[in-house]
Amino acid sequence: MRLLATSAAVLALLTPLASHALASIDDAKGDFLGTFAGSSASTDLDVLAASVFYNAGTDTFTLTATMDGNVGTTKSGLYVWGVNRGQGAAGFEKSLGLAGVRFDQVILLRPNGTGSLPGLPADKATLPVGAVVVSGKTITATVSGSLLPSTGFANKLDYTWNLWPRDTAFAGVAAISDFAPNNTNFTATPVPEPASAALLLGGLGLVAMYRRRQSNS
């Protein structure tokens, strides 16, 4: 009975994770937009993978993107994360036919390790020092959920995301090199709280022990 109860607890923990199953997205290499005015040599503006994790315990989002080239190769590069918090509008449908890319706030990340949220009060608009980390082909940002209040969604795990790098040497849509994903948004993955993670690991351990005993009997 204990094993059954533990297994049920494990399944209960896995269920909320599965409801937001898009832990990350992969994006095709070299799929620069036809409208991009920059160079295909700007491989640091070509997204290969992106993910968003949300820790409800600390109310923190972690945004991570891996590019085809080392971040910062294009000095005028900019990484724009769009987030739909409930009232996201399609901003690119007329010029690029991308009605699926919806957002009501953007987060700007720069190769020099700085970041900002346009439209917020001056004391909140700039991400703190150390919030943006560049390592080779990867750029990661930690953003407080307090900076991203809901505009309609009941749960911050329902927020949806899209990443589009830009070469700021150009203007308008000509600056945008890539969309990840191409014409849709993706959801964040929840980070289990420590107590839940411990219960999950403990439950899996008991299940493994039970299976070993069954195989040895």
- Interval 104-156: pLDDT, tens: 999 999 999 999 999 999 999 999 999 999 999 999 999 999 999 999 999 99
Question: Is the Cα torsion angle 173, 179, 183, 184 positive or negative in sign?
Answer: negative
pLDDT digits (tens, 9 = 90+) for 146-205: 999 999 999 999 999 999 999 999 999 999 999 999 999 999 999 986 544 444 444 445
Q: What 3-state DSSP class applies to 96? A: helix
Q: What is the rounded CA–CA span in Å between residue 14 and residue 205?
A: 15
Sequence-distant (6+) residues with CB within 8 A of 211 are: none
Q: What is the rounded CA–CA span in Å between residue 37 and residue 67?
A: 19
Q: Kindly list the distances between the CA atom of residue 214 and the CA atoms of 51, 200, 208, 210, 211, in Å, as whole numbers in the listed order.
A: 39, 21, 10, 6, 5
Tokens 């700085």 found at: 114
pTM of the entire structure? 0.80
